[in-house]
Structure 1
Amino acid sequence: MAVVVWLLAGGALGPFAGKLGQVAGNDQAAFLPETAESTRVNELRRGFQKDETVPAIVVWVADSGKITAGQREQAAEAVRAAGRVTGVAGPGSPPLGSEDGRALQSVLPLRADLDDQVGPAVDAIRAAAGQVPGTRAHVTGPAATQADLSEAFAGIDGVLLGVALSVVLVILLVVYRSVLLPLVVIVTAVFALALASGVVYALADRDAVRVDGQVQGILFILVIGAATDYALLLTARFREELGAGRDRWAAMRVAWRRSVGAVTASAATVALGLLALLVSDLTNNRALGPVGAIGVVCAVAAALTFLPAVLVLLGRAAYWPARPAPAAAHGRRGLWRRVATLVDRRPRRVWAGSLIALAACAAFSPLLKAEGVPLDEIFLHDARSVTGQRAVAAHFPGGAGNPAVVIARADRARQVIDAAGGTSGVAQALPVGADGRPGAGEPLVVDGRVRIDATLSAAADSDAAKRTIPRLREAVHAVPGADALVGGYTAEQYDTQRTSAHDRTLIIPIVLAIVLLILIALLRSLLLPVLLVATVALNYLATLGVTALVFTHGFGFSGTDASVPLYGFVFLVALGVDYNIFLMTRVREEARRDGNRTGVLTGLTATGGVITSAGVVLAATFAALVVIPLAFMAQIAFIVAFGVLLDTLVVRSLLVPALVRHIGPTVWWPHRGIRP
């Protein structure tokens, strides 16, 4: 019955994985801090626009020498032609020459509701702009960036899923040397993803949750990785029980009963850790929380219902051509028996050496700059919007085309303009006229307020520009009765950076408390849960240290997305505790019968292979995120994949069992069921 229900559900809900893009949006303005000053400005500036628009910046650079009068006229004609493109909301500004005379710049407003059609509109503008002989035309600005983002996320449901499932299948074939079992595990993960996609689609379609390309990609990877991990734990235990001589029904009853506690506790740590993101002030963080938790719940549901039913139907044939053998047979030989023997004989040396190595890596963690990714590094490969931004920066003031936006009372406009223009790091400050252009005619007054565009001297995405924002705010806030507010792209980045830092100080303790309480309830101990939480926290810091070195000296990133450290923490701590839960529940089971020393030896030997396989699978699935050519995805992929492997191979394999072996039964205090 369970198999039939899942087959029907999978067939009905499977198509929703491909439909999530229909309810996903990649509007970066929708993911700003809700209480930040830049968000308030974003709301007020809409009153200064007849229709909500997104600017596209067109820049022409002369192939040699300076722009001629004829080229200027042809550029103006190209702007008029571009204004007739479907999706352009109004006429563009006349081409403005650069101080060096080698470039022209114009701004065209695009409708904000173009969604998937923004790419064709930008391409049409590029085609019109390219009709100026003797120049190279570029289109950049928020509209072009949005078009490149849409292109980057195009086909995410096909390419990403295909790569992730292929990687998992290959690893499972190598690990299990079985024909049917890898396919059963893959089908379990696919059904879990179908269920999760259907639920998320229904909620997103009713605006109950928010989905963007990043959240969608992480959901796919998280569900596949989690479902595979839980499936591996159950299939390994089922194989043990079959090898012990039980029939398939009895073997599944024992395997399910002895696995369900660890699997559900593991899923709870990940789901509740993700739900802790709901207290974030960043909308995209809050979006990932419930969506990710839904995915984990669906993964554990498939692993504990569909998979057991299929395994019972297949029995020993699931492992063909391999034969299930008793756990004792595996325990007498093999790599993990040797690792367990090393931990048993020299526990102090093992945990001390592991601790020193992790601490050395963690020492480099302060070097990680989580201050945002520059515009020219958002995409892993040179996108056309990035090339255009470089052309703008080379010939116009750094912040040209992306000014800081000041909203102030109209009767204090002159004082605010003077204060903004006199701020260090501001090239000029001009009021926006009725035609939407800065400095053109009388300022447009809306509800007693005016808009002032402050062009920054430095590039809008640079650290220097972000340092200008607090100075600019201080200057305009000091104008009596102006009620001035500062927003715009640079202010948004500055506010996002500050909010991300605040979120880390708030959410990290919440996640640690959640994990600690779950471990206490599962292990019925106080000392051991504290020890496990401390080890996964150390693993996180060690991962940050290695990440700081690799990002700077290996990948050449000059900055890290502000959300990456928090996402990395939530995933690494929650998923890292998973593997410790799998290990320590088995150690406790063995220790209650044969004593602490034998429990560690047997538990590590029995679970070493399956947990390592699960870690490799999870790391590989997260690594598949690099198929999306965005720096954020690449950074998340590395930090989670490396951190999971470090946790699996060092923390769970050496540090934790060596500490438990060295401390002895006291580590289970106040639990009394463990023999010396």
Structure 2
Amino acid sequence: MGAAPSITTPRRRRRAVPWVFLGLWIVVLALASPFAAKLSDVQKDRPVDYLPASADSTEVAKIQDQLPGGEATELVLVYHRDGGLTPADRETAGKQIAEIAGAHKLVAEPKGVPSKDGTTLMYPVASTEPGQDEEKRDALVNDVRDVARDEGGLSVDVGGGGAFDTDASEVYNALGGPLLYTTAGVVALLLILIYRSPFLWLVPLAVAGVADYFAMAAAYGLNQAFGTSVSGQSSGIMTILVFGAGTDYALLLVARYREELRRIEQPYDAMVAALRGCGPAVLASSGTVAAGLLCLLAADLNSSRGMGPLGTVGVLSALVAMLTLLPAVLVLLGRRVFWPLIPAYGSAPKQRRSLFAAMGSSAGRRPFTVLASGAVLLGALALGAFNLPGSLKQEDSFTKTPDSVAAMETLAAAYPERGTQPITVMTPAGDALGALAEIRGTKGVVGAEKGRTAKGWTEISVLASSAPETPGETATIKALRDGLDGSYVGGSSAQQLDLKDTNSRDRALVVPLVLAAVLLVLVALLRSLVAPLLLLAAVVAVWGASLGIAGLVLEPLLGFEGTDPGLGLLSFVFLVALGVDYGIFLMHRMREESLKGAEPGAAALTALRTTGGVIASAGLVLAATFAVLTNMPLVQLVELGFVIAVGVLLDTFLVRTYLVTSASVALGRKVWWPGPLSRPRPAAPAAPEADRVRVPSP
């Protein structure tokens, strides 16, 4: 009787631990709920929230915010009739403009500018009513659109920077719900196919949902504490990462847990063994992703710099949930959660000739041939990157044509000889007259007018002789910046130019930082230099091949006229950080087998055979979550989702299975250099003759 407490007490404690974790998560969610609901309130999608922190166009936007009325909302009303405008059309346009001027405070009286062919009449309109308030800006644009209606064959479109920002904002604000539901649906479908269980798939999916809710609260906290920018793009990517990376961690943990349940009777003990086995790999995996994403803090581009902390919050939230809440729920549900494929204690899994065993065998027989063939294939695919279209223009940013883009297209066709989108110059008020004369004398400028003066600055609106976002207008913007001392040149076209230039600088700075950060984490985990360098070389090759495939698809097949300037940097960060995940899963298991005494070749093939299925499942889930972005209405999101999804699939089914395994077999123990595993094991001493025991044959 006296021994009973010593046996039952540990059991009771083991039973209590999962309930403790479950209770803690309920408390955490209750505390986080008010903050998670406020994340959408701090989401900003104004151009200044995406612009480079140190660029001229950013300074212009900041100064405009200080002027009376704040940043002006610039619109262009475009009246068009294919056969030529009639007097009645011009009268209709005049009435609509008068109604708009009577209802809103405009910066100046609108003046119509007819096209040379007589088919189009444009009215530039600017108002400071909305200031920095996005809701007021959208209300102004929508009110103007309500007044400017088509009549009797006369088409009326509202364009300009303000209208474009409103259309983009509506898209970003609409991303949250569809993106979350579509991502959850895709993950649910894949988990059902992977687990072949009517219940098991619900557990990791529900835990991922909890992690996403917690990440939203944490992201709001970062915004309030440190001013971290939150945009529709960054919050959407955060959700993708929570579900994608979180499900990957769940797949690895559940697979190891199922394995341990066959040899350990109690679910609690089996889960402890599973966490000890795969926990280091999951921690290192999340560490590489977090380290890579945090390198984006060094970027000058506001949108990239804000995405780093939010992405890190998403990955770490998924990690914490999958290593605490998921194990607790699985232990409480017991073996029955795996029904109908319940792993019975003492049973052995069915031995089947798996695809990955066959792939490993072929890689093991001819490692150099496989490695060379794969390298040639990836190199050939990477050549397609030279076919990528140029920088994405504003009018090409939507997969469907909104009103603002239709207006820009009409203007480009009707006014090929002049600019239709003003360039904004902010100059010190004391030098305004001299600056105005300098601007009017600049090559490529057809007109310049003084605007508001306040806070020591004067706003000058400039029209170029070239169409927006053309080489001619770009040359004009650069000439203005070179010729005006102490002034700033901004506006929509200048913003696009700054985005392109800053992305190039950020890429040169952030890419080496990401490689160094990921390399340090891999060296610490694998205790080797060769294996981490092998994994990094593999993911860089995957990135190049993915961009090459994009070059063969985006414009020729999908009809996209340009690529987002940030595509190269963001796809690199995500593919390197996320792609190394699968290398960690494989190499960590390979190292585990080597520590048990397996020869390098056998260890590599065993690691592939045991983790190949999990890596394939995880890769499919991660690729599918990013592929959800290809259904979004913004071209930059479609391009990013396509490149990452293709890269993950290449990494999963070619690089990890064939190339990394082949390289490991070819290198042998050198793959672990300079660690202790790189040195041959000393031969065991032969047993003395007297100690040998003769075992009779049956």
Q: CA deviation at 1:257?
A: 0.5
Q: CA deviation at 1:399?
A: 6.2
- Aligned residues of 2:335 and 2:343 also touching (Cα < 8 A): yes
Rounded Cα–Cα distance in structure 2 between residues aligned with 1:85 and 1:446: 25
Rounded Cα–Cα distance in structure 2 between residues aligned with 1:447 and 1:25: 25
Query: Corresponding residue for 2:642?
Result: 638
Rounded Cα–Cα distance in structure 2 between residues aligned with 1:288 and 1:278: 8
More displaced, 359-368 or 664-673? 359-368
AA of the residue aligned to 1:104:
L
Rounded Cα–Cα distance in structure 2 between residues aligned with 1:358 and 1:502: 26
Query: Corresponding residue for 2:522?
Result: 519
Task: Identify which of 8, 15, 38 aligns with 2:57.
Answer: 38
Per-residue Cα deviation, 1:443-464 (whole angstroms, up to 9, x for no partner): x655665443332233323344
1:79 maps onto 2:97 in alignment: yes
Change (3 A) 1:388 1:5: same
AA of the residue aligned to 2:599:
G
Change (3 A) 1:55 1:258: same
1:337 maps onto 2:345 in alignment: no
Change (3 A) 1:659 1:447: same
Rounded Cα–Cα distance in structure 2 between residues aligned with 1:471 and 1:660: 55
Q: Between Structure 1 and Structure 2, how many residues are aligned?
A: 657
Rounded Cα–Cα distance in structure 2 between residues aligned with 1:198 and 1:85: 41
AA of the residue aligned to 2:575:
L
Q: CA deviation at 1:639?
A: 0.9
Query: Corresponding residue for 2:684?
Result: none
Rounded Cα–Cα distance in structure 2 between residues aligned with 1:639 and 1:373: 16
Per-residue Cα deviation, 1:234-285 (whole angstroms, up to 9, x for no partner): 0011111112354312211111011111111110111111111111111111
Rounded Cα–Cα distance in structure 2 between residues aligned with 1:95 and 1:511: 52
Equivalent position SS for 1:100 = coil
Instruction: State how 1:534-573 maps to structure 2 within 5 Å.
Output: 534-573=537-576
Q: CA deviation at 1:465?
A: 2.7
Equivalent position SS for 2:85 = coil
More displaced, 47-56 or 154-163? 47-56
- Aligned residues of 2:360 and 2:609 also touching (Cα < 8 A): yes
Rounded Cα–Cα distance in structure 2 between residues aligned with 1:2 and 1:448: 59
Change (3 A) 1:410 1:308: closer
1:465 maps onto 2:473 in alignment: yes
Q: CA deviation at 1:410?
A: 6.2
Equivalent position SS for 1:363 = helix
Query: Corresponding residue for 1:21?
Result: 40
Rounded Cα–Cα distance in structure 1 between residues aligned with 2:229 and 2:437: 41
Task: Identify which of 670, 673, 676 aligns with 1:672.
Answer: 676
Structure 1 vs Structure 2: percent identity of aligned residues? 38
Q: CA deviation at 1:204?
A: 2.5
Rounded Cα–Cα distance in structure 1 between residues aligned with 2:66 and 2:432: 17
- Aligned residues of 1:79 and 1:94 also touching (Cα < 8 A): no
More displaced, 460-469 or 538-547? 460-469
Query: Corresponding residue for 1:318?
Result: 337
Query: Corresponding residue for 2:579?
Result: 576
- Aligned residues of 2:420 and 2:467 also touching (Cα < 8 A): no
Runs of at least 5 residues in structure 2 that lack an aligned partner in the other structure:
1-19, 682-698
Query: Corresponding residue for 1:170?
Result: 189
Q: CA deviation at 1:470?
A: 2.2
More displaced, 567-576 or 459-468? 459-468
Per-residue Cα deviation, 1:148-206 (whole angstroms, up to 9, x for no partner): 12321234332111110110011111111012221001011011111111111233245
Instruction: State how 1:105-504 maps to structure 2 within 5 Å.
Output: 105-106=122-123, 107-109=125-127, 110-130=129-149, 135-205=154-224, 208-324=227-343, 329=349, 332-369=352-389, 372-396=391-415, 400-408=419-427, 416-417=435-436, 419-424=438-443, 426-432=444-450, 436=451, 446=454, 450-474=458-482, 476-477=483-484, 483-504=486-507
AA of the residue aligned to 1:566:
L
1:607 maps onto 2:576 in alignment: no
- Aligned residues of 1:392 and 1:400 also touching (Cα < 8 A): no
Equivalent position SS for 2:425 = strand
1:528 maps onto 2:531 in alignment: yes
Equivalent position SS for 1:540 = helix
Q: CA deviation at 1:66?
A: 3.0
Q: CA deviation at 1:576?
A: 0.6
More displaced, 193-202 or 458-467? 458-467
- Aligned residues of 1:430 and 1:454 also touching (Cα < 8 A): yes
Rounded Cα–Cα distance in structure 2 between residues aligned with 1:406 and 1:120: 27
Q: CA deviation at 1:640?
A: 0.8
Rounded Cα–Cα distance in structure 1 between residues aligned with 2:86 and 2:28: 63
Rounded Cα–Cα distance in structure 1 between residues aligned with 2:150 and 2:653: 59
Equivalent position SS for 1:673 = helix
More displaced, 405-414 or 313-322? 405-414
- Aligned residues of 2:84 and 2:117 also touching (Cα < 8 A): no
Rounded Cα–Cα distance in structure 2 between residues aligned with 1:353 and 1:331: 31
Per-residue Cα deviation, 1:94-120 (whole angstroms, up to 9, x for no partner): 333333333222214251344235444
TM-score between the two structures when normalised by the length of structure 1: 0.91
Task: Identify which of 112, 124, 127 aligns with 1:95.
Answer: 112
Rounded Cα–Cα distance in structure 1 between residues aligned with 2:456 and 2:163: 33
1:663 maps onto 2:655 in alignment: no
Rounded Cα–Cα distance in structure 1 between residues aligned with 2:419 and 2:225: 39
1:104 maps onto 2:121 in alignment: yes
More displaced, 286-295 or 103-112? 103-112
Change (3 A) 1:450 1:202: closer
- Aligned residues of 1:397 and 1:456 also touching (Cα < 8 A): no
Query: Corresponding residue for 1:441?
Result: none
Change (3 A) 1:150 1:48: closer
Instruction: State how 1:42-57 maps to structure 2 within 5 Å.
Output: 42-46=61-65, 49-57=68-76
Equivalent position SS for 1:57 = strand
Equivalent position SS for 2:201 = helix
- Aligned residues of 1:274 and 1:289 also touching (Cα < 8 A): yes
AA of the residue aligned to 1:272:
A
- Aligned residues of 1:275 and 1:289 also touching (Cα < 8 A): yes
- Aligned residues of 2:669 and 2:677 also touching (Cα < 8 A): no
Rounded Cα–Cα distance in structure 2 between residues aligned with 1:294 and 1:344: 40
AA of the residue aligned to 2:262:
G
Q: CA deviation at 1:9?
A: 3.3
Rounded Cα–Cα distance in structure 1 between residues aligned with 2:425 and 2:633: 34
- Aligned residues of 2:78 and 2:121 also touching (Cα < 8 A): yes
Q: CA deviation at 1:398?
A: 6.7
Per-residue Cα deviation, 1:307-362 (whole angstroms, up to 9, x for no partner): 11112122321211113389974665221111121122121121111111111112
More displaced, 220-229 or 205-214? 205-214
Rounded Cα–Cα distance in structure 2 between residues aligned with 1:98 and 1:460: 16
- Aligned residues of 1:85 and 1:121 also touching (Cα < 8 A): no
Q: CA deviation at 1:304?
A: 0.4
Q: CA deviation at 1:40?
A: 2.6
Query: Corresponding residue for 1:440?
Result: none
Change (3 A) 1:206 1:63: farther
Rounded Cα–Cα distance in structure 2 between residues aligned with 1:26 and 1:346: 53
